Chains A and B, each alone.
Chain A
Amino acid sequence: MSNKRTKPFSIKYLPGFTPVALVCFVLLYAPIVTMVVYSFNSGQSVALFEDFSVAWYFAAAENELVQEAALRSLIIAAFASGIATVLATMAALGTTRTKNYPGRTLIYLMINQPLMVPEVVTAVALLIFFASIKVATGYSGLAYLILAHAAFCVPFAYLPIRARMEGMDRALEIAAADLYATPWKTFRRVTLPLVAPGIAAGAMLAFVISLDDVIITEFVKSAGQDTLPTYMLGQLRRAVTPEVNAISSALLAVTVILLTAFFLLSGRNSPVGK
């Protein structure tokens, strides 16, 4: 066989790897595609495709509970990602491009803590903490959810901002200072525009992470404070309702659109948080 080989010997080839990878992609997409296809099913059943219809999308859009939950999700995500991005930008300014100083490791640990602690543990902790505050103050509004979301969004906003700042040329800021710019002016006119793409990426990440959250929201929310994900979880009985299927597919579409935009804007950089 080796003598008759027509193709050149490929050093990157490993037997079986490509088929496994392709099977993997099929397995990854089959459930998602099925979900999207059946969201256009006119019938109740997910087992039988009857007719093409967008009825379930309209049903979901006209459901007041869904409208309220979606609006609540957006409000929380907007406030939480806004707060998280501002604070993460400040923290990134204080922790990058500087010699190591006492306590910097502590700051790192604190900021990245939500990435390390299992979410259910944080959720329980916040449940206990907020329960006693709710009793003491009598306030049970959205602020608890916003605070909780803002906290776990900080590392997701921080990481891309930090990455951007570390890759930045210090000389430009030094030049600005040489030209008698005040520190604030240097920040406003030089640093900020240069870091802006990182801040935008961080804010977007934080927004998506807040929008997707289930566990912490489920534990912290007061009665009648469902977000879209907790509403969907609450609707689950033995199967997923066609309405929830339609909401899922719509959210999936939003994810795909945002990601495509992100990929096209950032070119080679992949929007991988880690």
Chain B
Amino acid sequence: MTDTSTTNARQLSDLEVRAEKERVKRNWLLSMPAMILLLLGASGPLLIVLVYSFMTPGDYSGVIWTPTVKAWFQIFFTVDIFDDTVRLADAHLTIFGRSLRLSLLTTLLTLIFGLPTAYFIATRPGRQRTLWLFLITIPFWTNLLIRTFAILEVIRNEGLINNFLRWLGVIDEPIQILYTDTAVLIGMAYVYLPLMVLPLYAAIDRFDFRLVEAGYDLYANRWQVLRRVILPIVKPGIIAGSILVFVPSLGAYVTPRVLGGGKNMMIGNFIELQFGQGRNWPLGSSLSILLLLVVAVALLFYVRAANRGGSDE
């Protein structure tokens, strides 16, 4: 290599570095307006919630600017007003327990129904498959509130199920489903089912059925093929679907409000209560941050699992 060629190379690389810098600047400038919008309308206010969770509640609403960790303490504990003993806040724990339990059960229920459904769609021939997929997509894009109303009309005391059972003569008095945990569970499984089916479908659609053939050649039975060949390979889809159902279930607000009534609150309704009648904005804020943290852990788990599974989503 001669001197001039190194100088030329250096000049060229200088130019490249400058062009690269220009490009990065341009990319940032293009992304800036969207970032500002999201900072104002989504991310920024979350920081305010974090700050509010360390303040003292105001008399009517809002906060008084005296820092305290009381709101965080209140999440789990309550202080007796007479003798100052500290006890676990049972009412709160009941709500957390219900939220977790119902979200996990919803995930499980949608998986049990969603896996065969996704498999069924993915194994249809050509045009038929588009039609079945379309049938899953309609509920997916229908307003969640409308679907919740639809299920409400089915399970309420004068609704479809109870009228049908009464007509059959199985029951005299309507079965009270509405305003119970079961109602919330049925509702959430119903509204979130498409969120489970779609990623599962995507995973099974990519599945290479020659592997199943190989399994059968090696004397596996149907059950072994499902458990040892299909399930391990579509696992990323199962994880994706589970997270997509679990996360909105945990933060659900509309479904428990409509189907659970005032009593069977989930954490989303409990947060709202603190900003309404509860007039405890710091407690509502700390609960929001707690919910956010739980969801973040779930998402981290998802990212790790997705990376390991080599999924491209």
A interface residues (Cβ-Cβ under 8 A, vs B)? 9, 11-18, 20-25, 27-32, 34-35, 38, 45-47, 83-84, 87-88, 90-91, 93-95, 98-99, 101-104, 107, 110-111, 113-114, 116-122, 124-129, 131, 147-148, 150-152, 154, 158, 208, 211-212, 214-215, 219, 229, 232-233, 236, 238-240, 244-245, 248, 251-252, 255-256, 258-259, 263, 268, 270-272, 274
Contact = CB atoms under 8 A, between A and B. Distances in A.
Q: Interface on chain A toward B: helix, strand, loop, or mixed SS?
A: helix
Contact of A117 (B199, B275, B292): B292
7 contacts: A24-B114, A30-B160, A124-B275, A214-B254, A239-B158, A255-B138, A259-B141
B113 A31 contact: no
Given A128-B281, A229-B145, 7 more contacts: A17-B116, A25-B135, A34-B153, A47-B163, A120-B272, A129-B45, A255-B143
B39 interface: yes
A259 B42 contact: no
Contacts of B151: 31
Interface string B119-151: 111010000001011111111111111110111
Interface residues of B, number: 96
B56 interface: no
A31 B38 contact: no
B158 A45 contact: yes
Contacts of B158: 45-47, 239
B102 interface: no
Contacts of A95: 27, 31
Interface string B1-39: 000000000000000000010011011111101110111
A101 to B, nearest CB: 5
Given A12-B123, A31-B190, A268-B130, A152 B24 contact: no
B75 interface: no
A49 B45 CA distance: 49
B222 interface: yes
Contacts of B153: 31, 34-35, 38, 46, 239-240, 245
Contacts of A232: 145-146, 149
B295 A34 contact: no
Contacts of A99: 20
